[in-house]
Structure 1
Amino acid sequence: MKKQLSERDICTKYITPALERSGWDILTQIREEFSLTDGRILVRGKLHARAKNKRADYVLFYKPNLPIAVIEAKDNNHSVGDGMQQGLGYGELLQVPFVFSSNGDRFLFHNKIATDGIIEREIGLDEFPSPKTLWEQWCLHRGLSAPQQKLITQDYYSDGSNKTPRYYQLLAIDKTIEAISKGQNRILLVMATGTGKTFTAFQIIWRLWKSKAKKRILFLADRNILVDQTMTNDFKPFGSAMTKIKQRQADKSYEIYLSLYQAVTGNEEEQKIYKQFSRDFFDLIVIDECHRGSAAADSAWRQILDYFSAATQVGLTATPKETKEVSNIDYFGEPIYTYSLRQGIDDGFLAPYKVVRIDIDKDLEGWRPAAGQRDKYGNEIEDRIYNQRDFDKKLVLDPRTQLVAKKVSDFLKATNRFDKTIVFCENIDHAERMRQALVNENADLAADNSRYVMRITGDNDEGKAELDNFIFPESKYPVIATTSKLMTTGVDAQTCKLIVLDQRIQSMTEFKQIIGRGTRIKEDFGKFYFTIIDFKKATELFADRDFDGDPVQIYEPQHPDDSPVPPELSEDEDFTDGYPEPEGGFEWTNGEDLEDVEDMGVRRYVVANVEVKVIAERVQYYDSSGKLIAESLKDYTRKTLTKEFTSLDDFLVRWSSADKKQAIVDELAKEGIFFEALADEIGKDCDPFDLLCHIAWDMPPLTRKERAERVKKRDYFTKYGDRARRVLEALLDKYADSGVGQIEETQVLTVAPFTQFGTPLEIVRIFGGTAQYQEAIRDLKRSLYTA
């Protein structure tokens, strides 16, 4: 009897009751069919699909915020340990020490921290360990005292819904709380852009605040918009306990403080509002985007952290800054948890990307002026070869700007002209010229609404005022934003579908930050992936071995006698792009935006009468590791099929034995095989069976109509009565029109022409009942695919 039960029945009748008998609470500690990932989004052409997500049959929580064990169930036709390897994979993802596998007869118990040396053993259904038993083993292994356990088991914030932080957020929160419970006062968390750093920070602060382990807390960011977004979104539950620090204001009656770095620092002593607080005022400081100002040891921003050195300090970043001059790791220590862009894309939480590489002749070949040639303003151009390093910095080729604007506009016209787009330029001057060129290329839409294209840079109040509208999903305008530095980080542009790189990018940190502007998924707005159009070979950084790797410290502390590093301009909120001097002068650091400083006051030659053309354009797809995927859909399909099936015979056996052919089609779609796109290339009326056989094994493809005609010629229907024959002929016509998936579903009997034969129940009775009808369908499919 047990052999006939499904896997779900085994869970309901045997595994869940065993857990309840052992003291596990079904409401708060047992989570069945627990989704760990969303499933990677696969992109081919203009189509996308999701791969199968990872889902554990059970995740057991000691407290709602503390996963402690995984159970993988199988039906009773499997052995007790058949699910163990799958369960271990899920356990590794959640970093839990206890994994169980069961087929309803017994459990196989994998105990990673077993003290007797026996890691795996079988136990009976009535021997499942209690929550207290597993928790005590874990605490003993990790050396957690009773006070530490009390802090670690403090619940996270819940609004009453069933929403649980994603698995990597749980790990980041729990690891941070545990580190703090053990007295660690400098902590670094590395989480890719778009993975919820601010939400994670909120849950960390909430638990420490609620447990009274930390009573006064400062959250630091470096953009005004980030602070405001944080207060109104993730931090909203703090309510009246929370305030925003403003310049010359130091109200000490609150518990949660949010501030810009710049609001509490300044060049003059009296501007440094943080000194109005005592050094031990804050128990905890959380620094958002800590790769920026606080990475440099001599920055004014670091002064805040040094002043409140007694506080526990947690740094958050997607891209820790590690150069010879500046280092997050030197200050915070090695990251206690890293969740990378690669993992986020692979898990399906972040949007993948495709790259359109466009090479321009003058960029690759260079350009040299004729003897005595003057630019369009009458300046004689210095005689030398100018190349990509010079363009838009020392030399402007107007036709090049116009060509870039045209290629971007052509792409949008071929996809959607209202897809949010960010164009990254070399500097403010370049961003303004690009704005003008894009306006002219989109004159119809720009005339309809002047905000269709906007320059959003640090020096321009009108542009900055539109930043909120650009990132607000429901706001139609602006559509295209030209920028240089202001939008490289911290701008939560959830619906951005196109990123244009017309900027030379040499920094891996900056590259990752820019790519991060597109990685958010917004399904309700049709945003599943994004496109990068690269004019300056910036995407070659994808091939860098350090792309998305673990941060490596390369910091070289300077000896006092060493020459100082040349000063560089900090990315002040209002002066990110460099040009206007803030009141009180510039703040210089050792880490940001040297090129903007060099740009100031530089004469640029502007040349109008030169021919510029595209010499290469190609679409490239990258996997989650940043490796190039073959562009050809046919090549990818062939490669995937030969991995899945050893031969044509293997495929034919699998296809013939499948009760529903559509299930194979759906499974292959999750591997990135898009049948609609293949049909466009090979023949729209081909069956998926023919598409696959043709691409992978070079078999001549038949159309669905040709397959249907072959069945009719075989006198296949003669064994059925007249009414049944007419139903089958109608099903065959439906197959010829719409494919095998249609005839496999009984819902097809509810539409014309089947309604003329009666209700679905009456049609099934024509064949003698449901079993006979299903056998007739199977027979029809066998006939369709008979060689």
Structure 2
Amino acid sequence: MTPEIKARERIDQKLQQAGWIIQDMAALNLGAGVGVIVREYPTDTGPADYVMFVNRQAVGVIEAKRDSAAENITAVEQQTERYASATLKWRTEQTPLRFLFEATGQIIRFTDNADPAPRSREIFHFFPPQTLAEWLAQPNTLRRRLAEAMPALPERNLRDCQISAVTGLEQSLALNKPRALIHMATGAGKTFTAITSVYRLLKFGGAKRILFLVDTRNLGKQAHQEFMAYTPPDDGRKFTELYNVQRLASPHIDPHAQVCISTIQRMYSILSGEQIDDSAEDISLNEIEQTTKQAKHVRYNPAVAVDTFDLIIIDECHRSIYNLWKQVLDYFDAFLIGLTATPDNRTFGFFNENIVAEYTYEQSVADGVNVGYDVFEIETTITQQGSELKAKEWVDHRDRATRKKRWAETEADTIYTGKELDRSVVNPSQIRQVIQAMKNAVETQIFPARKETPKTLIFAKTDSHADDIINMVREVYGQGNAFCKKVTYRAEEDADSILSSFRNDYYPRIAVTVDMIATGTDVKPLEVLLFMRDVRSKGYYEQMKGRGVRSLDGESLKRVSNSAEGAKTRFVLIDAVGVEKSLKTESRPLEKKPGVALKDLLQGVALGHRDDDTVLSLANRLVRLAKQLDDKAQARIEKASGGIPIAELGKSLIVALNPDAIVQTALNTAHAQGITRSEETLLPEEIEAARATRVAAACAPFDKPELREVIDTARRERDQLIDHINLDQVTFAGFSQQAETQAHSVIQTFTEYLKQHKDEIAALSFFYQQPYQRRQLTYDMIEELHEHLAKPPLMLTTERLWSAYARVQAAQVKGADRKRQLTDLVSLVRFALGLEGAQGELKPFADEVDKRFQAWIFRHNAQRGSAFTPEQTDWLRLMKDHIASSCSISRDDFDYAELADKGGLQKAWGVFGQELDGLMDELNVELVA
């Protein structure tokens, strides 16, 4: 057979598969079926290869070519147009035929002449005749409706980034662009945005059916729930009351469904006829290694026409769509719309670089949609270096699948690296040290004010590793089963139920997962992510980090974390395997200088330090602070800035460093100077000048010293300094060098103030006088001193002073982890003035009072010759406790608190008689001096 005949045979076969009846002119019978195709139909310009009839009416033409002509198939379009416009013998209408096809045995291209600016596109297979009949019955084509019939978008209840995404997509569709990419940061509401678009495309665009592709079955459930919850702005009914939504769980697509939700695995199974195990949809395709060996190829399935879907929305268009699974996308004649928070070069290339909306993680933090994050590192010797098991050592051997153990000798020396941990070798000590280090860090440094463990997610390497982690977490925290749960597809309990509890209930506090919560799954109260596994894929790592970025209001956070104060302002990524360093991630922490005080960042910017790290760090602090401050504090800052809210001050710094905006500024400047420039011809100095201009404008408000002071004052009332530490069996937990320098400065300022103001403040006069006069110290005097120290510009609160001494003289400072009392200022002053001696300790005032009380009562009992009675001793302890919190005691104090509850002054007089006043004087001197 000639190449032309071979091609014709394949074309005929495909047409017949699509339901067409093929006839020669000699056997013409247009009544044989809905769709009839006549070969070599005569026209006034010669016979057409194929003329298509639907319900006896000529509607289209096919120009057939041999396979070797495929690379020049578009050159045949003019020939197809000629036949479509020719006069067909025996046809009465003179209008051109609408549907134009060019085909070889391998390739089919199609043009609908009813489209605006008709443009050919490649299709996987011929359309059934019923499809062409439906299109003919419609007044306009889908593409014309998308170009002409979409009304303005109601913006109520939509974020700016969502408005930009919906309008950008509709503009792209109106221009008949086959692929579009929406890049939106995790947490910005991609699914809600997509549903908004789906609703408009169904209602106004007249789309027949839309496919919503998801990564896993769990994400399909989540998407289905969001469709059911969505209420459109122009209709009070739910989406699912207006349109049929099918979540595919079988090989059959409901012909009445207008939205189908499916994993790409499920759709591949439907098209290929290859059975799929339900568990195959439970694992993210990011977790599956792609192989060069292709599985069964997708072939035409008559039960699923190529026009089944008008649009395909690909949620989290990860790497899977570029390889084997791409066949699913190639099969359908549909617009492809990608949604992702983590695009890479392949993503941009696949979607023809048609980015219709871009909303980065940094922008989302600036807008308050998401929260920033800090990175806290845990290192252990074995994690870093591995270890060695010698031969003939008796150790447990465990079956990976059954976890059954046997006690046996090792056969040979086994050297293992950190990467082999929890796969070939499990080291319980390594897991224990990491969990213990995390517990210590969260409780003492990251969230020290919390009474309960913040919601924490741990990423494990395998299910077996997850089990080991869970057992260790329960042991280290001393908690029961409810405290820590596994959330993976192989968990014994229902994964969805555990996930719901983790999201909404008090327990579990800690969840361990391998992949189920890695992408897309919302758990807004999450505040700690612990990585105990490394990740190769940049995009997947970004997705995993994205589990913690969701913002949450204070009331909702408090519902699951009772001691949380205010809204969620950040999350902390605890890196126990070097995952942060092993990857060049797309989004980096905005916090570039965690050891630099906010005051120093503000001062640095005012003095002209405008490098990216400084500007971004200041932006991060301001955006975070905006979520923490009350209305009064925000109003003070807005007034000092000249009307700019603190959140906008931070956002403007981020926007100033936007690379695209910098380039545009440089182009505008060149144009204003009469210089012709393009992005490619801009000089480095022109770009740098544009950057400097933008950053200078954003930094200008910080030139005002009053603004810097009011921001720093507000921060000192709310913020905490987080220091990154390296842990190896917790051998070191310390602050950065910058923080130590700052602590020295605080101590120096404090001691100088004490010397300079000793004659002005009653409390200081007390400390500089002779010992016998110290009985004059009162609570009011200490309160007056604290007010002088705590107000600007010193801002030397008791907490800050104690923390500074703890950093600089840790060995001499006790009780640094306890809540400070105002009377601790007594201990601070004594320590600063050297009254405790060269080797003295800085201890909480109450501890010193306890110590002195024990010595006094022992001495007093010896001098009396008889001990105080038990009742007298109880009263003396109550008096001691009052002195610990108030510096002194007098008759008037028996009207307050526990002293009054025990009977007050009358009862105390009954217990001690005339000795009472003398004992009080004695205690005031002995316990405070």
TM-score band, normalised by shorter chain: 0.5 to 0.7
Are the aligned partners of 1:217 and 1:257 in contact in 2 as well (CA < 8 Å)? yes
1:184-333, aligned counterparts within 5 Å? 184-233=177-226, 236-237=230-231, 238-240=239-241, 241-244=243-246, 245-266=248-269, 269=273, 271=275, 276-296=303-323, 298-299=324-325, 302-308=326-332, 310-320=333-343, 327-333=346-352
Residue 290 of structure 1: how far off its partner (Å): 1.6
What is the rounded CA distance, in whole Å, between the counterparts of 1:528 and 1:413 in structure 2? 17
Alignment identity in percent? 22
Taking the aligned partners of 1:295 and 1:411, their CA distance within structure 2 comes to: 42
Of 357, 380, 403, which residue of structure 2 is paired with 1:360?
380
Residues 340, 383 of structure 1: CA spacing in aligned structure 2 closer, same or farther, 3 A cutoff?
A: farther
CA gap 1:675/1:320 in 2 versus in 1, 3 angstroms: closer
Which residue number corresponds to residue 517 of structure 2? 487
CA distance in 2, matches of 1:518, 1:708: 53
Aligned pairs for 1:14-25 (under 5 A) are: none
What SS is found at the alignment partner of 2:420? coil
In the alignment, is residue 375 of structure 1 matched against residue 395 of structure 2? yes
Matched, 1:423 2:458: yes
- CA shift, 1:230, in A, is 2.6
* Residue 532 of structure 2: aligned partner: 502
For residue 515 of structure 1, report the CA deviation from its aligned partner. Answer: 0.8
| Matched residue SS, 1:314 | strand
Displacement of 1:206 in angstroms is 2.2
Q: Which has the larger radius of gyration?
A: 2
CA contact (8 A) 2:528 2:572 kept: yes
- Give the equivalent residue in structure 1 for 2:624: none
Q: Tell me how large the CA RMSD over aligned residues is.
A: 4.3
Equivalent in 537, 547, 551 of residue 586 of structure 2: 547
- The aligned runs of 1:619-768 (5 Å cut-off) are 623-624=589-590, 628-633=592-597, 636-644=598-606, 665-668=709-712, 702=753, 709=760, 736=788, 739=791
Match of 2:577 in 1: 536
| One-letter identity of the residue aligned with 1:629 | K
Q: Check whether the contact 1:265–1:271 (CA below 8 A) recurs between aligned residues.
A: no
Please report how far the alpha carbon of residue 707 of structure 1 lies from its aligned counterpart in structure 2 after TM superposition.
Answer: 11
When residues 274 and 452 of structure 1 are mapped into structure 2, their CA distance, relative to the original with a 3 A threshold, is farther
Distance 1:412 1:290, change over 3 A: same
Q: Choose which of 174, 178, 184 in structure 2 pairs with 1:181.
A: 174
The CA deviation at 1:437 is 0.7
Cα distance in 1, alignment partners of residues 508 and 743 from structure 2: 44
> Alignment partner of 2:547: what SS?
helix
Residues 190, 316 of structure 1: 8 Å contact kept: yes
Match of 2:907?
Answer: none
Distance (whole Å) between structure 2 residues aligned to residue 266 and residue 436 of structure 1: 38
- For CA contacts below 8 A with separation 6 or more, give which structure has more relative contact order: 1
**How many equivalent residue pairs?**
464
Pair 698,734 (structure 1): closer, same or farther in 2 beyond 3 Å:
closer
Q: Alignment partner of 1:276: what SS?
A: coil
Residue 493 of structure 2 aligns to which amino acid in structure 1?
E
Deviation at residue 284 of structure 1 after TM alignment:
1.1
Q: Which has the larger share of helix?
A: 2
User: 1:222–1:708: structure 2 CA closer, same or farther, 3 Å change rule?
Assistant: farther
The 1:381–1:540 alpha-carbon spacing in structure 2 relative to 1, beyond 3 Å, is farther
Q: Residues 234 and 662 from structure 1, CA distance in 2 versus in 1: closer, same or farther, beyond 3 angstroms?
A: farther
1:348 to 358, 368, 375: 368
User: Is the CA contact 2:391–2:412 (under 8 Å) kept in the aligned structure 1?
Assistant: no
CA deviation profile, 1:74-117 (whole Å, cap 9, x unmatched): xxxxxxxxxxxxxxxxxxxxxxxxxxxxxxxxxxxxxxxxxxxx
Is the alpha carbon distance of 1:407 and 1:372 closer, same or farther for their aligned partners in structure 2, counting shifts above 3 Å?
A: same
Moved more, 520-529 or 221-230: 221-230
Aligned-partner Cα distance in 2 for 1:306–1:355:
41
Which of 156, 159, 165 lines up with 1:166 in the alignment? 159
1:47-95 CA distances to partner (integer Å, 9 max, x unpaired)?
xxxxxxxxxxxxxxxxxxxxxxxxxxxxxxxxxxxxxxxxxxxxxxxxx
**1:504–1:536 Cα contact (<8 Å) kept:** yes
Deviations 1:671-718 (A, max 9, x none): x6667658xxxxxxxxxxxx99967997976489969947999xxxxx
Task: Give the residue type in structure 2 aligned to 1:212.
Answer: G
Give the counterpart letter for 1:547 in structure 2: E
Deviations 1:484-542 (A, max 9, x none): 22221111111111100111223212211111110111122142211111111111157
* 3-state SS of paired residue (1:527): coil
Does the 8 Å contact 1:422/1:499 carry over to 2?
yes
> CA contact under 8 A between 2:313 and 2:338: conserved in structure 1?
yes
1:513 to 543, 554, 557: 543
- The 5 A counterparts of 1:381-420 are 382-414=412-444, 415=447, 416=450, 417-420=452-455
Is contact 1:454–1:482 with CA below 8 Å preserved after alignment?
yes
Alpha-carbon deviations, 1:358-413, whole Å to 9, x = none? 11012223312224435323252653532211111221112111222222333444
> SS at 2:388's partner residue?
coil
SS in 1 for 2:493: helix
In structure 1, C-alpha distance between the alignment counterparts of 2:159 and 2:275, rounded to whole Å: 41
Q: Distance in 2 between matches of 1:149 and 1:701?
A: 74
CA distance change for structure 1 residues 379 and 458 in 2, over 3 Å: closer, same or farther? farther
Question: Could you give the per-residue CA deviations for residues 727-757 of structure 1, whole angstroms, max 9, x where no partner exists?
Answer: xx9x99996597479xxxxxxxxxxxxxxxx
Letter in 2 for 1:338: E
Q: Would the aligned equivalents of 1:286 and 1:316 in 2 still touch at CA under 8 Å?
A: yes
Match of 1:458 in 2: 489
* Secondary structure, counterpart of 2:269 in structure 1: coil
- Supply the distance in 2 between the matched residues of 1:675 and 1:260 (Cα, whole angstroms): 45
**Paired amino acid for 1:279:** V
Counterpart Cα distance in 1 of 2:592 and 2:790: 35
CA distance, structure 1, for counterparts of residue 753 and residue 308 of structure 2: 77
Q: 1:673–1:348: structure 2 CA closer, same or farther, 3 Å change rule?
A: farther
Unaligned runs of 5+ in 2: 1-142, 232-238, 277-299, 398-407, 558-566, 610-636, 643-704, 722-741, 765-780, 794-929
| Structure 1: runs of 5+ lacking an equivalent | 1-144, 549-621, 648-654, 679-690, 714-728, 742-787
